[in-house]
Structure 1
């Protein structure tokens, strides 16, 4: 962290460092019962493979459960997360996959380096005014035509989560309107090719949205 780091990044790192172990214990196996998540990730993997493959990145990878699934689908994948503790857990669970600490605001990849990006419930912590910058960075690091898979809670406003698992931390989870996210992505040079909104399941409070896009131009 630097003195110039935005406050929302500091808050998110503090939150996820605190809850990382409990989060992994509770949600590490959740993908096995997440039919729609696996379907979208499977479609993303097929798009990457059909385009010739190459390295893909999960940005906001947490403890690596999605990253590991992408590797199991045959992708050459790396993971990036703001939380050092989340990265530690990801490396321990998936020692063959490279993980590093970093931010969606400045993904540490060269121009056109990546064959795909997955941002799975990570844009929910980005203030709306910074989403164009984030999507612009996605476009910068993607090869032409490369796919992007986004997942986020659909809706308006935000949910403030306080004292999760008994830890004295709090964080805002921002809900997004799919049409607004699509417009911001398009403005940054990411053309949406598929969209899905499903109803809440289990203890979810809002519909869940998935967008598949590709880097244009």
Structure 2
């Protein structure tokens, strides 16, 4: 299963260019929760303390991890795709405080020292059953630590486990990976059932004039 998903995300990596050298503000690193450039909130969502320890579930090509490291955080990323991690190491070769690992997010969290925040931007939390992901994240957070994830809002009437199709070559069937979609109130109730408090679930609207969807942003804290 892991090898199949890894190959799918390697394929996805080939379709995505490296992150820009600078954003619209001229910054060389930045945090982005949405599918739109230079749009939406930033790292403040995570409420990280100075020098905090933070984990990116499905870090991809590493832009968000790199940004947190430049803020003085101990920034850790985990991803299934060797191709994505190679892009991260190529794009951010000299960032101190940034550590990248290859593997499955759930497996990686077992036995880890607690984190001040754990997050997922269209990453592993989107593509893992929340009945498994949410307890694992909760157990890996420090008391009061923040979990946040972003993904596409669910298509009306299409809830629960869905299929995402990743195009491959012209003579190959698309790679298929599972994702989990729910309405905002269901996400909020599910986090609360798993012991999260101060839960918020919002849809960040797309930029003015865009015909694309907004971005679902889910956030909660570990109780205690």
Count of matched residue positions in the alignment of Structure 1 and Structure 2: 198
Residue by residue over 1:57-107, the C-alpha shift from the partner in whole angstroms, topping out at 9 and shown as x without a partner, is 111100101112222333221100111221222122223321001222223
Residue 171 (structure 1) aligned with residue 186 (structure 2): no
TM-score by length of 1: 0.77
Q: How does 1:100-115 map to 2 (within 5 A)?
A: 100-108=101-109, 110=111, 113-115=114-116
Structure 1: gaps (5+ residues): 1-6
Per residue, is there more helix in 1 or in 2? 1
1:124 aligned partner:
126
- Alpha-carbon shift at residue 203 of structure 1 (Å): 6.2
Is the Cα–Cα contact under 8 Å of residues 132 and 185 in structure 1 kept in the other structure? Answer: no
2:7 aligned partner:
14
- Alpha-carbon shift at residue 182 of structure 1 (Å): 2.1
Residue 213 (structure 1) aligned with residue 220 (structure 2): yes
Per residue, is there more strand in 1 or in 2? 2
Runs (4+) of structure 1 exceeding 6 A deviation are none
TM-score by length of 2: 0.75
Distance 2:73 2:191 in 1: 24
Residue by residue over 1:165-213, the C-alpha shift from the partner in whole angstroms, topping out at 9 and shown as x without a partner, is 8694423454332222222222222224433212345463x33111221
2:27 aligned partner:
none
Structure 2: gaps (5+ residues): 24-31
- Alpha-carbon shift at residue 138 of structure 1 (Å): 0.4
RMSD: 2.7
Secondary structure in structure 2 of the residue aligned to 1:124: coil
